[in-house]
């Protein structure tokens, strides 16, 4: 199984809502990533988890809260978002620390903040 | 931090012609250089990659070259087909945690 899955596919939320994005992989990968992609722009790295520990936080606002409950799951908790946070949120996974190789991307969650 | 520049931003070619996309990076510690193809509304998908100890790699119609001294790498697509139309991103990867920095993207249009 070489697939990364993400749910939901689409999400519309108000600025006062709390919601979560979910990502799952069963490839035995030990590094997982969250990216944000605005239209016609490249993916921007938000967070990296390595062996279930947060390794990189690219100065992301605290209204985005990542969580890695186990080696297969990655969540992104959303609270008090702004309209400019509307974007495609991509999850990815790779083998792990110092393992040079492909990052596998999920299909993304299209988030709209109203 | 790493900075990756990519050119051109748009590229139109006739079917059957070749396409070349160029990238430069700034961090000499970067050691892995993947290229991703992203079709509209879909996820980025790896099409080819190269490691820092290799100068060139080819996979059928696609090739990548790397000049570590100049910090340049390029994607070459030969015999282009309409299904090659997409946005292509180069990237540079560094560090034990595999931090990926993407280029700004090239929108390739192959005209039948």
> How distant is the alpha carbon of residue A40 from its chain centre?
19
Q: In what order do the strands lie in the sheet with B56-59?
A: B4-7, B19-25, B72-77, B62-67, B56-59
Task: Assess contact for A20 and A8: CB atoms under 8 A.
Answer: no
Neighbours of B30 (CB within 10 A): 22
- Tokens for A12? 């519309």
Q: What is the dihedral of CA B42, A7, A5, A9, to 10 degrees?
A: -20
Residue range A14-51, pLDDT digits in tens: 998 999 999 999 999 999 999 999 999 999 999 999 99
Q: Under an 8 A CB cutoff, do B105 and A42 touch?
A: yes
- Identify the pLDDT of residue B95: 78
Neighboring chain B residues of A53 at a CB cutoff of 8 Å: none
In chain A, % of residues over pLDDT 90: 89
Q: In the predicted model, is pLDDT for residue A1 greater than 70?
A: no
Q: In the predicted model, is pLDDT for residue A85 greater than 70?
A: yes
- b/e burial code for range A26-63 (CB count within 10 A of at least 16 → b): eeebbbbbbbbbeeeebbbbbbbbbeeeebbeeebeee
| Mean pLDDT to the nearest integer, A79-95 | 96
Q: Please count the residue pairs, one from chain A and one from chain B, whose beta carbons lie less than 8 angstroms apart.
A: 55
Which residue of chain B has the CA closest to A96? B97
Residue range B32-62, pLDDT digits in tens: 999 999 999 899 999 999 998 889 999 999 9
- Identify the pLDDT of residue A2: 67
Residue of B48, B81, B53 lying closest to B66 (CA atoms): B53
Residues of chain B with pLDDT under 70: none
Q: In the predicted model, is pLDDT for residue A6 greater than 80?
A: yes
Between CA A91 and CA A46 the distance in angstroms is: 10
- Identify the pLDDT of residue A35: 97
Q: Does B40 touch chain A (CB under 8 A)?
A: no
Q: Under an 8 A CB cutoff, do A48 and B99 touch?
A: yes
Between CA B30 and CA B90 the distance in angstroms is: 13
């Amino acid at each position: 199984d070489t697939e990364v899955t993400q749910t939901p596919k689409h999400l519309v939320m108000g600025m006062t809502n709390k919601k979560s994005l979910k990502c799952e992989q069963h490839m035995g990968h030990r590094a997982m990533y969250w990216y944000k992609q605005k239209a016609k722009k490249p993916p921007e790295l938000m967070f990296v988890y390595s062996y279930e520990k947060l390794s990189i936080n690219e100065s992301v606002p605290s209204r985005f809260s990542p969580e890695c409950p186990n080696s297969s799951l990655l969540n992104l908790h959303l609270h008090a978002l702004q309209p400019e946070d509307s974007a495609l949120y991509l999850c990815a996974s790779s083998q792990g620390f110092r393992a040079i190789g492909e990052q596998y991307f999920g299909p993304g969650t299209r988030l709209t903040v109203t | 931090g790493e900075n990756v520049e990519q050119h051109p931003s748009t590229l139109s070619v006739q079917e059957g012609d070749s396409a070349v996309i160029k990238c430069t990076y700034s961090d000499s510690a970067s050691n892995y250089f993947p290229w991703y193809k992203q079709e509209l509304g879909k996820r980025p998908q790896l099409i080819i990659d190269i490691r820092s100890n290799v100068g060139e790699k080819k996979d059928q119609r696609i090739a990548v070259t790397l000049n570590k001294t100049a910090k340049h790498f390029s994607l070459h697509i030969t015999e282009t087909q309409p299904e090659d139309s997409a946005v292509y991103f180069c990237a540079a990867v560094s560090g034990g945690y595999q931090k990926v920095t993407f280029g700004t993207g090239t929108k390739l249009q192959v005209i039948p």
